[in-house]
Amino acid sequence: MACFVAVAFAACSGDAADERTVDEFDLSVVVDGLDRPTQITEGPDGLLLVAQLAGGENDATGEIVAVDVEGGTQRVIVDGLDKPTGVLWADGVVWIMVRRGLLRADWSDPSASAAEPVAVLDDLAFNGRSESTLTALGDGRFLYATTGTLSNGTAAPGSGTLWTFDPSDTTSVPVAVGLKNAYAHAVLDDGRVVLTEIGDSAGDPPVEEVDVVDVAAGASTVDFGWPDCPGDTDCAGIERPLALFPAASTPTGIAAIGNDIYVTLFVSGELMRLDRAAWVDGDPPLEPEVVMAELEGPHTVLARPDGSLWISEHFADRVVAVDP
* pLDDT tens profile 161-190: 999 999 999 999 999 999 999 999 999 999
pLDDT at site 203: 65
Q: What's the distance, Cα to Cα, between the start and end of the chain in Å?
A: 29
pLDDT band at 34; cut points 50, 70, 90: very high
CB 207 within 8 Å of CB 244: yes
What is the per-residue pLDDT for 209? 96
On the CB side of 169, CA atoms within 13 Å amount to: 4
Tell which residue, 55, 53, 72, has the closest CA to residue 64: 53
In this predicted structure, the answer to whether residue 17 has a pLDDT above a threshold of 50 is: no
CA dihedral (221, 226, 229, 234) positive or negative: positive
Residue 5, H or E segment: helix 5-11
pTM of the model: 0.92
Which pLDDT band, with edges at 50, 70 and 90, does 1 fall under? low
Q: Which of 5-9, 101-105, 231-235 has the highest mean pLDDT?
A: 101-105
Given this model, what pLDDT does residue 26 score?
75
At 39-69, the pLDDT tens digits run: 999 999 999 999 999 999 999 999 999 999 9
Q: Is the distance from CB of 132 to CB of 145 less than 8 angstroms? A: yes
Find out whether 192 and 228 touch, Cβ atoms under 8 Å: no
Q: Taking 50 as the threshold, does the pLDDT of residue 3 lie above it?
A: no
Q: Which amino acid is it at 14?
A: G
